[in-house]
Structure 1
């Protein structure tokens, strides 16, 4: 080992960090590869040139075992459980039903729900759940999806500023605070200043979104323009939500996204316009798109239970295996040609259920099970994942693998809500440490079948995991080699003559700039040690400095790469890079000015 003087160690670490940031910005390699490369470079450097006892490999890798990272990963699993069970679908659909009567109030209510949930849950799955809702609302209001997608992302980010678990950034900064001082943030330490900034940001979004956001067709227009109709049937079983549904002007408003072509009641076939209310035992022959049928099964648990009770699914109804929907084409020369689904014994033979039949040649007005299949018919299939994948070897059907998607199992939605609320309650009241409450919530989601192990593992984003590990190693290296103190001294010397208020404002805008280049997690971990050094040198309350880091690092509005939710809405909103700068840039400046002016009120400087 060749021990370099401390000053050269510091500048060497600066060089490694600068190279890492450069590669993050350039995106020449994947985030995972860059993160591993940074950790490896630091380990090699301190092994070859570090003074004895400075930084060991175990310390550089300790970020992967940090309580904050464990908490973040566990909360991702809890969020995935909420998403997988469609725990928010029911309330959202009920609110959506009032869209025609009071569109503005309903739109405000949906954004309010997204904000409230994002306060207590990782906002990535929240935005995933709300993207199709916003797309549907835009279509109903005859507006462009681009008017709503970016506000959805920004609202969820603003909500993340208000509680300790609202964003992974908050947890990471608190972890640095606990490790280096005797202070610790409570669940609601940041609530008052965070909510103040969130309200200011929300007002900006409401006023400026119609002015600054572009009007472009979203993905919803592409999807709806290519949606093909399937012939499907719905059996009105006992306790079904359709019992007693009355037609209005000959149509059933409850089934607004599907077209009822016939109602079979015993031996009697009723054609539109319909006059009688639906009864138990009725069979509805409907025409609907795949999306409409999927939405129907995700709207109320009774629809899904009804499908699972058909043809032998009932015995498996409590399994945690994913339920999927896929499409398959009847192959030329198939033994199924000329036979009905009942004659084939389709459920017995394949383990799946035919949800609908698509045939473009003519309109069909008969029970789906009475349709004789033809070559080229497309079957919409419903069943468990393992049974669906087994169809790849079936020579009678051509399974369209690309069309296979998991269906939200809303039978567990109530249970998922309970686990989520209990997790938040334990964390918020400090009955349990946040990491224990989060791990308990993740385990609860898996143990109760809201998620299976494969779905839980899929929720663990490796990019976040490695990025946080690399940022932790960089922050620790800067702290141990004196780099953090050096940068802190430079900032203090430059802005301290103007007072603590201006100093805090300077720290805020510098972090906000970097968070839009290298992501909020990396910026937070890099600047947390620097902020605490400034606190030590000036006497400013360390809580005030770490909250400055939290709020500034959450100002990730100016680029799509700054935060995951921005990337999620990039496609559905058909945004360009410049759209984020034009709409998000002024929001960052507004929050910076507001925070600087209000800092004396928040922290009694």
Structure 2
């Protein structure tokens, strides 16, 4: 082993250890690794940041923007509404949800597809009278299986495609992954639907009286503005306006800091009255619009924020402020590392500092029936938040909140849906015909969606997961350092010593299992970057097709079913499903074995 190889191995070992440790974000760890190899001189100075212009990085960014455009146009919402018509039997629900999310994940960001279908899954579980945990883990695993089917389904596929060019062959095409990916998606979905869902834990048995978890009713405060048409009218007349098109129950009235529970329907409303109402998100929006009510903190109708008085942090003089802009309601989940945990909305001054109102809170499937301002947030809480469209997603990112779905507020018109689908189909067609490369086709589609108004430029930038972009841009040169120093060949030699006498099938099984294990503890893109050079070195020493080994790494990197930290989709369902860290292997281990047993013969048949 040379000195340079020893340094590369030490950097990679430290990087993997810090990935697993998790105290620093993976993109920060990747940048530290890049800076170390750059300072030592293992990467030429003019190539240190070349990874950020790598086609794989640009392609990933393009996929994320296009995915957001499809969401904005209502393409996925249309699919979600179709799912709502399936029956109540768990097996039917599982196969429908898993199949649909797998199909969507083949052509858009799989975490985004999962987040949009999560509320549907929880609603279906309640409709069927069983725990959401039966559906959410299969839904997450289905999103991973679906990502293996196409070039754009998951970042590892894009990365492996670019590494194929190093072997002298063309990059993998859009549907080159389909024979193997479709096989494991079909087999995996069938296993989950027939048997796998029974291996998921049932954390609670919801009764018919229990409230729906993320998409159900909320206890919400609404205010009667001074100029509202409801001033001077009775509660009875207010409810008459909305009773045919909304499901709203008035639980209380707060006037002059005095609470009156179950107020008389003949109570006359005054300016400044706060009504405590029970309503789902669609009914809430309808109530605000029809009855000319607002949410507390001065947010008025049609996205205008009325003048409000804000007291500065020192308790001194109050000041007035007016704000304007389109206002959205959004359901989000509080992640495990969110700064909200243990804090209240009042203490964090969410309205003043972030422009966000917390409208309602649900915890472990139950609505919290307390004044919202006094609720201390926990990891996994589902919040219904309100904020300006142009700043809401950025603020939520700062607060460590992951969007679940925008309920009834962004229903795509048929024209917008067809327009988005048309742009996407043109890009896919150009890619399939070889007219342009994947990066050019997808960036072109992203720009077209911005130009035609399916999303604005700010939204396009926010849709990009910059932590993944930084991870890829930083780790690609580090992976190249592993190759240029001969480190990849050295690892390949050791693997040859272990499995050099093995037939191709056992060798691929060994490589896929190693990749899967690594992907379960580090980001799947990082796993692909680290193992792709080793796969190429192995192919050269064995005089074996590099395609087979690269495809093995791609599948292994995308199939992280054993831990909640293996993929963001796994982490996203952990709290809503009530899962513990050790629950994932119960379904994930047999599913991983099934993937290996299905993928290896398919790879040997198609690519060897």
TM-score w.r.t. length of structure 2: 0.71
1:45 paired with 2:45, answer: no
SS, match of residue 248 in structure 2: strand
1:595 paired with 2:595, answer: no
Question: Could you tell me which residue of structure 2 aligns to residue 87 of structure 1?
Answer: 75
Question: Could you tell me which residue of structure 1 aligns to residue 339 of structure 2?
Answer: none
Match of 1:191 among 178, 181, 185: 178
1:401 paired with 2:357, answer: yes
TM-score w.r.t. length of structure 1: 0.71
1:545 paired with 2:501, answer: no
Question: Could you tell me which residue of structure 1 aligns to residue 149 of structure 2?
Answer: 162
Deviations 1:261-296 (CA, angstroms, capped at 9, x unpaired): 6479xxxxxx9xxxxxxxxxxxx5744389xxxxxx
Q: CA deviation at 1:599?
A: 4.5
* Higher deviation after alignment, 156-165 or 7-16: 156-165
1:173 paired with 2:168, answer: no
1:212-251 matches, cutoff 5 A: 212-217=199-204, 220-221=212-213, 224=216, 226-228=218-220
What CA distance in whole angstroms lies between the structure 2 residues aligned with 1:571 and 1:99? 25
Does the CA contact (< 8 Å) of 2:55 and 2:162 recur in 1? yes
Does the CA contact (< 8 Å) of 2:297 and 2:308 recur in 1? no
Q: CA deviation at 1:330?
A: 9.2
What CA distance in whole angstroms lies between the structure 2 residues aligned with 1:20 and 1:521? 14
* Higher deviation after alignment, 149-158 or 593-602: 593-602
What CA distance in whole angstroms lies between the structure 2 residues aligned with 1:129 and 1:166? 16
Deviations 1:447-475 (CA, angstroms, capped at 9, x unpaired): 12211122111111121012112321221
Provide closer, same or farther for how the CA distance between residues 18 and 220 of structure 1 changes in structure 2, counting only shifts above 3 A: farther
Stretches of structure 2 that go unaligned for 5 or more consecutive residues are: 225-237, 258-267, 279-286, 311-319, 324-350, 359-384, 390-408
1:526 paired with 2:530, answer: yes
Does the CA contact (< 8 Å) of 2:111 and 2:568 recur in 1? yes
Does the CA contact (< 8 Å) of 1:330 and 1:396 recur in 2? no
Question: Could you tell me which residue of structure 2 aligns to residue 24 of structure 1?
Answer: 19
Match of 1:555 among 550, 556, 559: 559
Bigger radius of gyration among the two: 1
What CA distance in whole angstroms lies between the structure 2 residues aligned with 1:340 and 1:461? 46
What CA distance in whole angstroms lies between the structure 1 residues aligned with 2:79 and 2:493? 52
SS, match of residue 28 in structure 2: helix
1:498 paired with 2:502, answer: yes
What CA distance in whole angstroms lies between the structure 2 residues aligned with 1:331 and 1:425? 63
Provide closer, same or farther for how the CA distance between residues 99 and 422 of structure 1 changes in structure 2, counting only shifts above 3 A: farther
SS, match of residue 2 in structure 2: helix
Stretches of structure 1 that go unaligned for 5 or more consecutive residues are: 1-5, 233-259, 265-270, 272-283, 291-328, 333-337, 345-355, 362-366
Question: Could you tell me which residue of structure 1 aligns to residue 51 of structure 2?
Answer: 63
Question: Could you tell me which residue of structure 2 aligns to residue 567 of structure 1?
Answer: 571
Provide closer, same or farther for how the CA distance between residues 512 and 289 of structure 1 changes in structure 2, counting only shifts above 3 A: farther
Higher-helix-fraction structure:
1
What CA distance in whole angstroms lies between the structure 2 residues aligned with 1:28 and 1:589? 31
What CA distance in whole angstroms lies between the structure 1 residues aligned with 2:275 and 2:76? 31
SS, match of residue 401 in structure 1: strand
1:456 paired with 2:429, answer: no
Question: Could you tell me which residue of structure 1 aligns to residue 98 of structure 2?
Answer: 111
How many residue pairs get matched? Answer: 484
Q: CA deviation at 1:86?
A: 2.9
What CA distance in whole angstroms lies between the structure 2 residues aligned with 1:106 and 1:117? 16
Provide closer, same or farther for how the CA distance between residues 25 and 414 of structure 1 changes in structure 2, counting only shifts above 3 A: same
SS, match of residue 560 in structure 1: coil
1:383 paired with 2:302, answer: yes
Does the CA contact (< 8 Å) of 2:223 and 2:293 recur in 1? no
1:507-526 matches, cutoff 5 A: 507-526=511-530
What CA distance in whole angstroms lies between the structure 1 residues aligned with 2:95 and 2:503? 40
Match of 1:150 among 137, 156, 174: 137
Aligned alpha-carbon RMSD (Å): 3.8
Does the CA contact (< 8 Å) of 2:101 and 2:143 recur in 1? yes
1:577 paired with 2:581, answer: yes
Match of 2:196 among 209, 218, 223: 209
1:92-491 matches, cutoff 5 A: 92-99=80-87, 105=92, 108-217=95-204, 220-221=212-213, 224=216, 226-228=218-220, 262=240, 284=244, 286-288=246-248, 358-359=275-276, 381-384=300-303, 387-388=304-305, 401-402=357-358, 403-405=385-387, 407-408=409-410, 410-411=412-413, 412-491=416-495
SS, match of residue 540 in structure 1: coil
Does the CA contact (< 8 Å) of 1:468 and 1:521 recur in 2? yes
What CA distance in whole angstroms lies between the structure 2 residues aligned with 1:427 and 1:262? 55
Deviations 1:56-102 (CA, angstroms, capped at 9, x unpaired): 033232111111110100110111122233322134224414546x8
Q: CA deviation at 1:181?
A: 2.6
Does the CA contact (< 8 Å) of 2:249 and 2:277 recur in 1? no
Question: Could you tell me which residue of structure 2 aligns to residue 312 of structure 1?
Answer: none
Question: Could you tell me which residue of structure 2 aligns to residue 300 of structure 1?
Answer: none
Provide closer, same or farther for how the CA distance between residues 383 and 373 of structure 1 changes in structure 2, counting only shifts above 3 A: closer
Q: CA deviation at 1:534?
A: 0.7
Provide closer, same or farther for how the CA distance between residues 479 and 79 of structure 1 changes in structure 2, counting only shifts above 3 A: same
What CA distance in whole angstroms lies between the structure 2 residues aligned with 1:371 and 1:427? 51
Provide closer, same or farther for how the CA distance between residues 107 and 414 of structure 1 changes in structure 2, counting only shifts above 3 A: farther
Does the CA contact (< 8 Å) of 1:161 and 1:167 recur in 2? yes
Q: CA deviation at 1:105?
A: 4.5
What CA distance in whole angstroms lies between the structure 1 residues aligned with 2:549 and 2:563? 25
Q: CA deviation at 1:441?
A: 1.3
What CA distance in whole angstroms lies between the structure 2 residues aligned with 1:222 and 1:531? 43
What CA distance in whole angstroms lies between the structure 1 residues aligned with 2:309 and 2:433? 51
Does the CA contact (< 8 Å) of 2:107 and 2:150 recur in 1? yes
